[in-house]
Amino acid sequence: MREQRQLDRIYQLLENYKGELPLQHYLRNYFRQHHEMGANDRRLTSQFIYNWYRLGTALPDLKKEERLAVASFLVMDKESSLFSFLLQSTALNNNADLTAQLSIKLSVVQEAYPQFNLQDVFPFLKLASEKLNITFMTMNILKQPYLWLRVKRNMETPFITCLESNSIQYVKQGVAVGIRNSTDLSKIPGLNPSWYEVQDYSSQLTGNYFKPQKGDHWYDCCAASGGKSLLLHGLEPGISLTVSDNREKILSNLKTRFEKNGIINYKMELVDLGNMIPKTISQNQFDGIIADIPCTGSGTWSRSPEHISFFNEADLLMYTERQKKIISHVSPLLKAGKPLIYITCSVFKAENEEMVDWIIENCDFELESSALIEGADFYADTMFVARLIKK
């Protein structure tokens, strides 16, 4: 039977996956090796594997067919023959209405499986920021986030017109536009890539803390592919930039994005900030530093829910030690009275509020403002941002 063959493949992939690679890369590699799989098979396989991991550590003792069915019931909103096949093995019976609101679905699961505990979906309450709404965070894990785009100045009208003319559903928050994550932007007729940048909504909101001034020289010290630098430059084009990262390939992506956006007034360095900073950077004194610091990424686990199953608390200590090294190395490069913008995509207090306390105590800063930007209300990531001023 076709559905059983699909399930056998899913179970094999789940058994073989050990978390060494991000799940999307693991699946992509598998699909490249199995050209016999059609587009629909690849889509279903990915969907149900992600469903499995979205359940976190909940219902560990159920048979795999039953657990996968419960996870898929909570996550999916459209029927499929594979789900109908799985449903036969559950206690959900005729109550499995995929179109119901998530709160109603949770009640149905709780009634059918009294051992179900919503907090087991994200079982890290003791590590989380006290500001985090853990119920909203947990429910967010069970939802596929939007693909968020930042629409550029004066491009909003043609951008929205293009989406509507192609019947693309969207939500809008200021210049941020969210669409279904499965949308292939390259296949939308008439959509000009120069109109937008891909950037999560919460990430866009961190820009409210930058406050650049014309003529400033800013340092994006963990720049990755340049998302925060592009956001900064969009707020104030009359700045100069120094950017660095420890990954050569990702800096190549940054260079391409900068060229696309016409940014030429910048310097780029390949640097491991866990070690000493080279003179090409250390000889500068900056008017602002963005430290979008390497972290656990726990605020993005609604996009990569496999991390919930493979997270090791020892990794948290490794990240916080690296964060301290980076901040201690870059903070002397900041002029007195100027801002350090500390950013993580984490919900863990050790990487957020406790790290801010450490920076204040050890690096001669005072806190001006901070926020935990919770993404649950708008299908986005959760991020932490703090604006600290050098004494």
**Contact (CB, 8 A) for 365 and 357:** no
Q: CA nearest 240: which of 261, 213, 265?
A: 265
pLDDT of the chain, 391 residues: tens digit per residue: 788 999 999 999 999 999 999 999 999 999 999 988 998 899 999 999 999 999 999 999 999 999 999 999 999 998 889 998 988 888 887 668 899 999 999 999 999 999 999 999 999 999 999 999 999 999 999 998 999 999 998 899 999 999 999 999 999 999 999 999 889 999 999 999 999 999 999 999 999 999 999 999 999 999 999 999 999 999 999 999 999 999 999 999 999 999 999 999 899 999 999 888 888 898 889 999 999 999 999 999 999 999 999 999 999 999 999 999 999 999 999 999 999 999 999 999 999 999 999 999 999 999 999 999 999 889 999 999 999 999 9
- For residue 305, the tally of other CB atoms under 10 A from its CB is 25
**Contact (CB, 8 A) for 219 and 289:** yes
- The Cα–Cα gap between 324 and 342 comes to 12
Q: Residue 281: CB partners within 8 Å, gap ≥ 6? A: 219, 242, 244, 269, 271, 333
The DSSP symbol for 278 reads: P
- The Cα–Cα gap between 67 and 62 comes to 6
| Main-chain dihedrals φ then ψ at residue 208, nearest 5 degrees | -65, -15
- For residue 154, the tally of other CB atoms under 10 A from its CB is 8
- The Cα–Cα gap between 123 and 116 comes to 13
The DSSP symbol for 56 reads: T
- The Cα–Cα gap between 379 and 180 comes to 10
This prediction's pTM: 0.94
Q: Residue 31: CB partners within 8 Å, gap ≥ 6? A: 37, 42
pLDDT in tens, 216-261: 999 999 999 999 999 999 999 999 999 999 999 999 999 999 999 9
Reduce the DSSP state of residue 225 to 3 states and report it: coil
Structure tokens belonging to residue 371: 């926020």
Burial 34-67 (b: 16+ CB within 10 A, else e): eeebeeebeebbbbbbbbbbbbbebbeebeebbb
Burial 173-208 (b: 16+ CB within 10 A, else e): eebbbbbeeebeeeeeeebeeebbbebbbbbbbbbe
| Rg of the chain, C-alpha, whole Å | 23
Structure tokens belonging to residue 357: 């306390």
Helices (H) and strands (E) in the chain, counts: 15, 11
Looking from the CA of 39 toward its CB, the CA atoms found within 13 Å total 0
